[in-house]
Protein backbone atom coordinates (compact mmCIF):
# COMPACT_ATOMS: atom_id res chain seq x y z
CA UNK A 1 0.00 0.00 0.00
CA UNK A 2 1.47 3.31 -1.08
CA UNK A 3 1.10 6.02 1.62
CA UNK A 4 1.70 8.92 -0.79
CA UNK A 5 -1.42 10.57 -2.19
CA UNK A 6 -2.10 11.18 -5.85
CA UNK A 7 -2.82 14.77 -6.96
CA UNK A 8 -6.50 13.87 -7.43
CA UNK A 9 -6.75 12.65 -3.83
CA UNK A 10 -4.99 15.76 -2.54
CA UNK A 11 -7.41 17.93 -4.51
CA UNK A 12 -10.40 16.01 -3.14
CA UNK A 13 -9.14 16.29 0.43
CA UNK A 14 -8.51 20.00 -0.04
CA UNK A 15 -12.04 20.54 -1.36
CA UNK A 16 -13.53 18.57 1.54
CA UNK A 17 -11.42 20.56 3.99
CA UNK A 18 -12.65 23.88 2.53
CA UNK A 19 -16.29 22.75 2.47
CA UNK A 20 -16.02 21.65 6.10
CA UNK A 21 -14.24 24.82 7.22
CA UNK A 22 -16.67 27.32 5.67
CA UNK A 23 -19.74 26.24 7.71
CA UNK A 24 -17.66 25.87 10.89
CA UNK A 25 -16.30 29.40 10.50
CA UNK A 26 -19.72 30.77 9.58
CA UNK A 27 -21.55 29.16 12.50
CA UNK A 28 -18.67 30.02 14.82
CA UNK A 29 -18.96 33.68 13.86
CA UNK A 30 -22.75 33.60 14.21
CA UNK A 31 -22.46 31.92 17.61
CA UNK A 32 -19.93 34.50 18.77
CA UNK A 33 -22.19 37.38 17.65
CA UNK A 34 -25.16 35.70 19.38
CA UNK A 35 -23.14 35.27 22.59
CA UNK A 36 -22.02 38.90 22.52
CA UNK A 37 -25.64 39.99 22.06
CA UNK A 38 -26.78 37.71 24.87
CA UNK A 39 -24.25 39.00 27.41
CA UNK A 40 -26.22 40.51 30.29
CA UNK A 41 -26.38 44.30 30.30
CA UNK A 42 -25.24 44.40 33.92
CA UNK A 43 -22.02 42.59 33.02
CA UNK A 44 -21.19 44.95 30.15
CA UNK A 45 -22.01 47.90 32.39
CA UNK A 46 -19.65 46.74 35.15
CA UNK A 47 -17.00 45.92 32.54
CA UNK A 48 -17.30 49.43 31.10
CA UNK A 49 -17.02 50.93 34.57
CA UNK A 50 -13.92 48.82 35.27
CA UNK A 51 -12.35 49.90 31.96
CA UNK A 52 -13.14 53.54 32.76
CA UNK A 53 -11.56 53.22 36.22
CA UNK A 54 -8.40 51.61 34.81
CA UNK A 55 -8.11 54.17 32.01
CA UNK A 56 -8.78 57.08 34.36
CA UNK A 57 -6.13 55.77 36.75
CA UNK A 58 -3.58 55.58 33.98
CA UNK A 59 -4.36 59.04 32.60
pLDDT at res. 24: 93
The segment with the largest mean pLDDT, out of 3-7, 14-18, 47-51, 55-59, is 14-18
> Where in the chain are the domains?
7-58
Q: Residue 53: pLDDT above 60?
A: yes
d(CA 56, CA 50): 10
DSSP string, 10-57: HHHHHHHHHHHHHHHHHHHHHHHHHHHHHS-HHHHHHHHHHHHHHHHH
Q: What is the mean pLDDT of residues 12-16?
A: 94
pLDDT at res. 58: 62
Amino acid sequence: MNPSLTPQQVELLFCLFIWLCIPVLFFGAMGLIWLINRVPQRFTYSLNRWVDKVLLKEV
